[in-house]
A and B are shown apart, each in its own frame.
Chain A
Amino acid sequence: MPVLTSKDLHKAFGSIQAVKGVSCEAEQGEIFGLVGPDGAGKSTTLRMLAGLLKPDQGFSIINDADVLAQPDLARCQLGYMPQHFALYSDLSVKENLAFFADMYLVEKAKRRERLERLYRFSRLEPYSNRPAGKLSGGMQKKLALMCAMIHTPKVLILDEPTTGVDPLSRRELWDILYAFADQGVAIVVSTPYMDEAERCHKVALMHSGAFVAFGNPKSLVSRMEGRVLAGRAQKPVTIAAELMKHSGVSRAYQVGHSVHVVLIDVAMEKEVISYGAEWLELKPQRPSFEDLFLDLTGEN
């Protein structure tokens, strides 16, 4: 039984169709990732899921409550973290948490236990008296996440929690999300980083307001299996241009000292390898989400 369901969401701003018919579902304990570049429509989608923006068409339901028709019922089951979360920078970590606990009418008797749990996940307790404005970027994101979880919602909607965060803090944030999911929280999270798609249980690749792919991340990437080759070369740019001349090659480009080749079809593998042998030794390479994204959004 999904705890979050949305169907056929549309939203236009003036003449720009920001979201064109998006449907999603998330179950208890599931992490659903919305992956796509800036301007793909991720934030608009999340705001409609959270009931903060009225869709032109479609609806969104959180645990039986329609986010627009029964906003109070929906909101008490929902935690939402916008991309630029408004923490009070001159309040300490502890004071920010107390403020959000008051806002969400969290009973005083339950606070202590909840805070202990959130501190355990976030490892922010040693900094509880530090002003939020003096925390590092990664720690601020963790604090924002704690504030969004203070009322123990069943659904958590997070808009790019890892953007601009360094790899170390990024991994910590994901560990916190896994811990929440483990407790049964359904999480919808957006990210512009293709390499985060594989961290989700279910993923939608978003481009120009619509999903271009949807499903289990491993099986999505496996669609590209056998179509990506790579090899080292002295002048990778020049050689990529040579490889592009072959009709079996969809794209060829340099990555560091290597050339990556994406085939139009798996069946072309042998032919392209022997064509390329004049310049370099091509070997099959594990496809990435970026390969998939470029393939699905390509004009050629």
Chain B
Amino acid sequence: MEHVVVAENLTRKFGDFTAVDNVSFQVGRGEIYGFLGPNGAGKSTTIRMLTGLMAPTSGKAMVLEFDLETESEKIKERIGYMSQRFSLYQDLTVIQNLNFYAGIYRIPRNKKADRIDWVLQMADLSGREDILAAELAGGWKQRLALGCALLHEPEVLFLDEPTAGVDPRARRGFWDLIAKMSEQGVTVFVTTHYMDEAENCHRLSLIYSGRLIATATPEYMRSQVIDDRIIEVSVFPQDEAIQVLEANPNVRRAQVFGEVLHILANPNIDGIEVVQKTLSAAGLKPSQPIYIEPSLEDAFIYLIEIEDQREEGRKR
């Protein structure tokens, strides 16, 4: 597979603080690759290094086979970047924003009209050319920002939390566009801490405290990462049930999830039976427990907890 984005031992320090710590990964052509992590984990710093906005302290990054350190100007022409705060001019209209970005990206005069038409079509903004950016609803604004980032037909697209706060319908439409771009060979690198954005990626890396702690497809993360099995049961009072369950050595944790409990149990035993028997023995009347598939969030939190335990171990 052709690797369009390659990071090798990429590191960025701010004084004593290591924001990005020895990070390596590759992104293939047409791949939608997600960088998932909590606030402050190093996501934005990584994206800034990959777009040539910030130099690494050590390590190396290549985009489209150009070295970021020596050839970053060549890269800039061939990538698109959409930041968290869309860089639209609020007091300019849709068409004025597009003209402005066409100028910045030095799109040749003979291609400009075609490219702008393409963006208006793609973003479904035809007929809205003369509306001020400030007056567009959230979903449209976001599509206009994406359109501006795509005007110069970039081969790689960098998206920083692109659909935060956008309603589900607009978000669906946005990801449909991204998926279409990807099928046409555009490589997409996206950072996020929203699980529903992460689900849309082909492959995900989990970044935590500046380090990559896992890379896999979302399906793999959900089904293979967690050693425990998760059991769902409805039982009241919930706090009493949690105490009883957590006293059982085969239960790693029990927690409230709305009207039910989620129980992380040893995978090598019949967890359903253990939950049922433990609760009944305490005089509680549980519903029939069932195994449930872990969510991406479950996997994410599990991996972070393991990393924290490792970190504790290192300190000792």
Interface status of A253 (Cβ within 8 A of chain B): yes
A254:B297 contact, CB within 8 angstroms: no
Known A38-B167, A167-B38, A168-B304; judge A175-B255 contact (CB<8 A): yes
Interface segment, one of A91-99, A150-158, A232-240: A232-240
Q: Which of A25-64 contact B (CB under 8 A)?
A: 31, 36-40
- Chain A's closest residue to B137 (CB) is A39
B168:A195 contact, CB within 8 angstroms: no
Q: Which of A153-182 contact B (CB under 8 A)?
A: 163-169, 171, 174-175, 178, 182
Interface status of A283 (Cβ within 8 A of chain B): no
B258:A199 contact, CB within 8 angstroms: yes
A194:B257 contact, CB within 8 angstroms: no
Please pick, from A168, A194, A238, A286, the residue contacting B301 in the complex, using a CB distance under 8 A. A168
How long is the Cα–Cα vector from A182 to B243 in the complex, in angstroms?
A: 14
A169:B183 contact, CB within 8 angstroms: no
Known A201-B258, A216-B259, A256-B199; judge A238-B172 contact (CB<8 A): no
B257:A255 contact, CB within 8 angstroms: no
A250-264 vs B, CB cutoff 8 Å, 1 = contact: the mask equals 000111111000000
- Chain B's closest residue to A196 (CB) is B258
SS class, residues of chain B in contact with chain A: mixed
A256:B138 contact, CB within 8 angstroms: no
How long is the Cα–Cα vector from A174 to B256 in the complex, in angstroms?
A: 9
Q: Which of B267-313 contact A (CB under 8 A)?
A: 293, 295, 297, 300-301, 304
Interface status of B315 (Cβ within 8 A of chain A): no
Number of interface residues of B (CB under 8 A): 44
Q: Which of A180-222 contact B (CB under 8 A)?
A: 182, 192-195, 198-201, 216-218
Interface status of B122 (Cβ within 8 A of chain A): no
Please pick, from B180, B193, B202, B301, the residue contacting A171 in the complex, using a CB distance under 8 A. B301
Known A199-B258, A235-B183, A237-B176; judge A256-B167 contact (CB<8 A): no
Interface status of A80 (Cβ within 8 A of chain B): no
Please pick, from A171, A236, A256, the residue contacting B218 in the complex, using a CB distance under 8 A. A256
Please pick, from A39, A165, A167, the residue contacting B195 in the complex, using a CB distance under 8 A. A167
A169:B200 contact, CB within 8 angstroms: no
Number of interface residues of A (CB under 8 A): 48
B202:A169 contact, CB within 8 angstroms: no
Please pick, from A168, A256, A294, the residue contacting B169 in the complex, using a CB distance under 8 A. A294
Q: Which of B1-54 contact A (CB under 8 A)?
A: 32, 37-40
Give the chain A neighbours of B40 by CB distance below 8 A.
136
How long is the Cα–Cα vector from A40 to B167 in the complex, in angstroms?
A: 9
B202:A257 contact, CB within 8 angstroms: yes
Interface status of A72 (Cβ within 8 A of chain B): no
Give the chain B neighbours of A218 by CB distance below 8 A.
258-259
How long is the Cα–Cα vector from A40 to B170 in the complex, in angstroms?
A: 14
A38-B167, A164-B164 provided; 4 other pairs, C-beta below 8 A? A168-B301, A194-B168, A201-B259, A236-B179
Closest 10 CB pairs of A and B: A37-B167, A166-B38, A254-B179, A178-B256, A237-B179, A199-B258, A166-B193, A237-B183, A166-B39, A237-B180
The interface of chain B, by Cβ under 8 A from chain A, is: 32, 37-40, 137-138, 164-169, 172, 175-176, 179-180, 182-183, 193-196, 199-202, 217-219, 238-239, 255-259, 293, 295, 297, 300-301, 304
